[in-house]
Structure 1
Amino acid sequence: MKNLNLRLVLVMTALSIIACSKDAKINENLQEEESVVVVQREALTPQQINAKINETIEQRIDFEWKNMEAHMIWSAAVHGDNIITVGFGADDNDFNKENSNANDIKDRLLKNIAIDEKVGAQKTSDILIDEDDKLNIIDVKVENLATIENLLSAEGIRYIEPAGYRYWQYQGTPESGAGCGYDGATLNAADYTTIAPGAKLPWNFNTHNIPAAWNYSTGSGVGIGVIDTGLTPNNTLMNGNFNDGYSSGRYVQKYGTFVDSWWPWSSSTDGPNDQCGHGTSMTSVATAPRNNNGMPVGVAYNANLISYRGTKNVLLDGYHEQKGVANALTALGRRNDVKIISMSIGNIFSIGRISDAVRYANNRGKLIFAAGGTSTTFTNFVGVIFPASMSETVAVTGVTDANSYKECDICHKGSKIDFTIVMQRDGNGNRTTPVLGYYNNQTDYVGGSSVATATTAGIAALVWSRHPSWTKDQVLNRLKQSADFYPNKNSQYGYGNINALQAVQ
């Protein structure tokens, strides 16, 4: 009996040891799982986020937030004021409110987001920052990773993007002044000729036969919308004296859609005036008057100009810049007097809100030109930038006046380029295109794919003025037919340099 009791004690002791061992193992596993959860819910650093973006782009793959997992999107949102832009709709093409019945989708999404964010289904105003007037887009404040995870699996989602994330800020580039400058430059006498009634003709205009094209068309009756950093108030030739010399019967209008504020709920713009200098240069090369003041003339010197300050600088970084450009696009898209939109601005990856706005304007018959890209030390690994990379835009880059095609020192090239413009001297000081300066009686030089884009927009205005009943596709086809490589397309330079005279004949 004693032996039996002893054996029972030993068995119970062994079972107890095994059970304790299993409990310890279970607790250990639970602790490991809990530690994994903690790691997963810790946001990636901006450096890790940028590294992923750069890795994708360096492989010549377009980076799109809609291809990213929830944790990546949420991490970027954490570092961007927790602002999420949600593009919704029945399918990818359901972006236009005017032709959509997606209100039920929007209401359902807002209610679910409010629940996931623990504010309650009846308090959607607590998380809603803005709802776009024309596009199926809402901006919401999201703090929980689970909210992003649930949105990615929800029906009616076209894309989710961390709109407040500033790639360039964390990349280390001086984003605040990108492409900006007010200082003028004295023009070299070899870089212009004087034409009646006393204007300066930029040297590269002859390369594209622009002066000869003026015998047929000067852009009269065509509206060019320029979305950039705005237009100077300090040069009368682009304001009250917009009709000067041989320029007459046209108008210039200035608007502002950019909100210069850190607060996402702010809606007060800082006006239409250029506070960078870049926008003034672009409007000048496209439309500056054929003046009698000894200043540079623009390509379409009798075209109407509608200038929008949609951004702070040329890099579309941050919520208010993206929203400002998109709002400018939809506004120009609704105007019957605007035929052409020129955007010498961009980003190295796509932005859903701007993509929607580009498609909105394109569907309304606007011919949209966009800069193929101008390099900095941070973008020289990038091909054609956004939105020039879109099929709905016409991508332009700059080349030198060398005997064979050679991109400008800082210009991008690639298979998505459609046209090129000669805008830089090859050697010989590498001087670029003469333009009006920011202030009265001031001149300047401007280069890169930016000036090439605005120049092409001006040539398109000459064609459209010559054939006012044409569609944008007819105008675009004529530009192609007048270019060097037509009917072929070069793998790096598109259809090449445009012959403006041939285009208007």
Structure 2
Amino acid sequence: MKAIVRLPSYAKAQSRYEVSSISRLTRRRSNVIVGDFDLDEIADIEREGGEVYPDVQFQLASTDYPFLPERDAARFWERDYGEFSPASGFSLDDVLNHIKAPEAWHFSRGSGVTIAIVDTGIATDRPEIPSFKRSSIDVPSEFAGQHWSDSFGHGSMCACIAAGTSSDGGLYNGVAPDANVLAVKSILSSTDLYVIYDDLIERFSDKSEGRLIINNSFALLRCASTGEFTLDHPLVDLIKSGVSAGIPFVFAAGNSHYDGACDNRAGECYPNTIWSINSLDEVFCVGAVDGENSNQSESSAHANSSRGPGELSMLGDKPDLVAPTYGRVPWGNIGYKTLEWWGTSGAAPQAAGAMALVLAAYPNMSVEELYRLLRESALPLASSKHCTGAGLLNCERIVQKLLGHIS
């Protein structure tokens, strides 16, 4: 079985790493090891006083990502109303105008900052992500060497929303059109994520390659906690160490509130449906709203945006804020899709792009200051913070606050 294992001492982990019969050991960090274990090895580790954390499968807000178990829930973001021309309906351009991203580009366009998209990969021929924007780093995930491919399309969407550019044949800019993009294709399991995060933290902790932002548009899609993650889980510890090293982690809130899956009411900002690492105080969690800045209407898919306060949040409630998702958006190799919403999957990369705008101008800003800036610059909304957090992401207000034009 795949698992993350914490041994009682570094020495034991070092010894096991060197001589273990584990069939495929993929990563070791201090006294934590990640790999494939048989039942005898698990029993031996537990006799030594070690802790075994079974692999946990995260999911996109979709029913058909080929690497993930089938979901029996109703639809989430996948309502597809077919193609239409940019002039006949809403698109990514409208969403960027909604969050006032173009108004921030006189201040910064994200140059020098890298956004890692941990997702389904990124399509090689995606015109909004031309070769000069692509990081050459090959992260040792389950898809090492295959990161610049995306047979599903979701990762390409997220990359274009965060940092796409129209300068090389693409139709749309993203929030940070001059930021670089690092493709990380993953099976979205806790063991694969551990390997990915560990490698990225090791590479970017000294900031010699500039600032990194990690976008994570996936979640545990469920209606109640099943307790796989606690505050002492090795993956939680790893994320905290990355944030301490100056790497922001942006997560989608999840799409688990309404529409048959959890039998919650669209108009209510409870119960909690933001689970596991997506709800940590150390990460930035983003929900979604429609064109009217709402996620509480039964007639809108946006009612699926997960509610706070968050399973593991201790110091502040989740989500941190919300972003709008609707209309025509770049999608994989097939061109563009028109969707009623892009889920919270499409909201998270907007926040990641906004962070890139800030870090390009203020490369020494701490993660805590960055998170606080985005929350304090958000446009306040009338609904409860458990529905919409601090309010609507607003890039213009971020710049105004940085320049001292608003308090």
TM-score in terms of structure 1 length: 0.60
2:154 & 2:36 partners in 1: Cα distance?
A: 32
1:292 & 1:131 partners in 2: Cα distance?
A: 38
Residues 86 and 328 in structure 2, CA contact (< 8 A), matched pair in contact too: no
Residues 269, 218 of structure 1: CA spacing in aligned structure 2 closer, same or farther, 3 A cutoff? Answer: closer
The answer on 1:186 being equivalent to 2:84 is yes
Residues 105, 472 of structure 1: CA spacing in aligned structure 2 closer, same or farther, 3 A cutoff? Answer: same
2:388 alignment partner AA: Y
Correspondences of 1:43-62 after superposition (within 5 Å): none
1:288 & 1:167 partners in 2: Cα distance?
A: 26
1:392 alignment partner AA: E
Aligned with 2:116: secondary structure?
A: strand
Residues 227 and 342 in structure 1, CA contact (< 8 A), matched pair in contact too: yes
1:308 & 1:499 partners in 2: Cα distance?
A: 27
Aligned with 1:132: secondary structure?
A: strand
Aligned with 1:414: secondary structure?
A: coil
Of 340, 355, 363, the residue aligned with 2:236 is 355
Of 270, 277, 291, the residue aligned with 1:401 is 291
The answer on 1:462 being equivalent to 2:368 is no
Shift of 1:276: 2.1
2:126 corresponding residue in structure 1: 235
1:502 & 1:276 partners in 2: Cα distance?
A: 35
Aligned with 2:349: secondary structure?
A: helix
Shift of 1:383: 0.8
Shift of 1:363: 1.8
Correspondences of 1:411-450 after superposition (within 5 Å): 411-415=305-309, 416-423=318-325, 432-439=326-333, 442=336, 444-445=338-339, 447-450=342-345
2:21 & 2:135 partners in 1: Cα distance?
A: 41
2:161 corresponding residue in structure 1: 285
Aligned with 1:449: secondary structure?
A: coil
Which string of whole-angstrom CA distances, capped at 9 and with x for unpartnered residues, describes residues 372-407 of structure 1?
Answer: 102386567771133211222111110122365537
Of 188, 201, 205, the residue aligned with 1:330 is 201
Which string of whole-angstrom CA distances, capped at 9 and with x for unpartnered residues, describes residues 96-148 of structure 1?
Answer: xxxxxx4324368x59xxxxxxxxxxx95224642624353223624259927
Aligned with 1:420: secondary structure?
A: strand
Of 120, 124, 141, the residue aligned with 2:37 is 141
Aligned with 1:286: secondary structure?
A: helix
Residues 346, 87 of structure 1: CA spacing in aligned structure 2 closer, same or farther, 3 A cutoff? Answer: farther
Structure 2 unaligned spans of 5+: 69-75, 222-227, 265-271, 310-317, 401-407
The answer on 1:307 being equivalent to 2:183 is yes
Aligned with 1:209: secondary structure?
A: coil
The answer on 1:295 being equivalent to 2:148 is no
1:475 corresponding residue in structure 2: 370
1:379 & 1:255 partners in 2: Cα distance?
A: 38
Residues 129 and 140 in structure 1, CA contact (< 8 A), matched pair in contact too: yes
1:17 corresponding residue in structure 2: none
Correspondences of 1:197-216 after superposition (within 5 Å): 202-216=93-107
Residues 406, 465 of structure 1: CA spacing in aligned structure 2 closer, same or farther, 3 A cutoff? Answer: farther
The answer on 1:218 being equivalent to 2:101 is no
TM-score in terms of structure 2 length: 0.73
Structure 1 unaligned spans of 5+: 1-80, 90-101, 112-122, 193-199, 243-249, 261-267, 424-431
Shift of 1:452: 0.3
Residues 210 and 500 in structure 1, CA contact (< 8 A), matched pair in contact too: yes
Correspondences of 1:19-30 after superposition (within 5 Å): none
Residues 433, 451 of structure 1: CA spacing in aligned structure 2 closer, same or farther, 3 A cutoff? Answer: farther
2:328 & 2:235 partners in 1: Cα distance?
A: 30
Residues 253 and 306 in structure 1, CA contact (< 8 A), matched pair in contact too: yes
1:391 alignment partner AA: D
Of 197, 207, 219, the residue aligned with 1:346 is 219
1:463 & 1:388 partners in 2: Cα distance?
A: 22
What is the alpha-carbon root mean square deviation over aligned residues?
3.7
Residues 294, 368 of structure 1: CA spacing in aligned structure 2 closer, same or farther, 3 A cutoff? Answer: closer
Which string of whole-angstrom CA distances, capped at 9 and with x for unpartnered residues, describes residues 237-278 of structure 1?
Answer: 3133x5xxxxxxx55446353326xxxxxxx65444223211
1:439 alignment partner AA: N
1:160 corresponding residue in structure 2: 52
The answer on 1:104 being equivalent to 2:11 is yes
1:462 alignment partner AA: L
Shift of 1:480: 1.6
2:277 & 2:215 partners in 1: Cα distance?
A: 11
Aligned with 1:255: secondary structure?
A: coil
Residues 302, 395 of structure 1: CA spacing in aligned structure 2 closer, same or farther, 3 A cutoff? Answer: same
Residues 131, 402 of structure 1: CA spacing in aligned structure 2 closer, same or farther, 3 A cutoff? Answer: closer
1:372 alignment partner AA: A
Q: Which has the larger radius of gyration?
A: 1
Shift of 1:223: 1.9
2:121 alignment partner AA: G
Give the structure with the larger helix fraction.
Answer: 1
Which string of whole-angstrom CA distances, capped at 9 and with x for unpartnered residues, describes residues 481-504 of structure 1?
Answer: 111349x98233221112211101
Residues 142, 293 of structure 1: CA spacing in aligned structure 2 closer, same or farther, 3 A cutoff? Answer: closer
Which string of whole-angstrom CA distances, capped at 9 and with x for unpartnered residues, describes residues 274-299 of structure 1?
Answer: 23211100000011113374612101
1:388 corresponding residue in structure 2: 278
2:199 & 2:151 partners in 1: Cα distance?
A: 17
1:436 & 1:174 partners in 2: Cα distance?
A: 18
Aligned with 1:370: secondary structure?
A: strand
1:373 & 1:143 partners in 2: Cα distance?
A: 33
Residues 120 and 152 in structure 2, CA contact (< 8 A), matched pair in contact too: yes
Shift of 1:154: 5.2
2:161 alignment partner AA: V
Aligned with 2:351: secondary structure?
A: helix
Greater shift, 292-301 or 211-220, is seen at 292-301
Q: Identical aligned pairs, as a percentage?
A: 21
Shift of 1:177: 5.8
Residues 251 and 285 in structure 2, CA contact (< 8 A), matched pair in contact too: yes
1:104 & 1:237 partners in 2: Cα distance?
A: 48
Of 138, 154, 161, the residue aligned with 1:255 is 138
2:206 & 2:327 partners in 1: Cα distance?
A: 30
Aligned with 2:6: secondary structure?
A: strand
Residues 160, 318 of structure 1: CA spacing in aligned structure 2 closer, same or farther, 3 A cutoff? Answer: same
Residues 224, 269 of structure 1: CA spacing in aligned structure 2 closer, same or farther, 3 A cutoff? Answer: closer
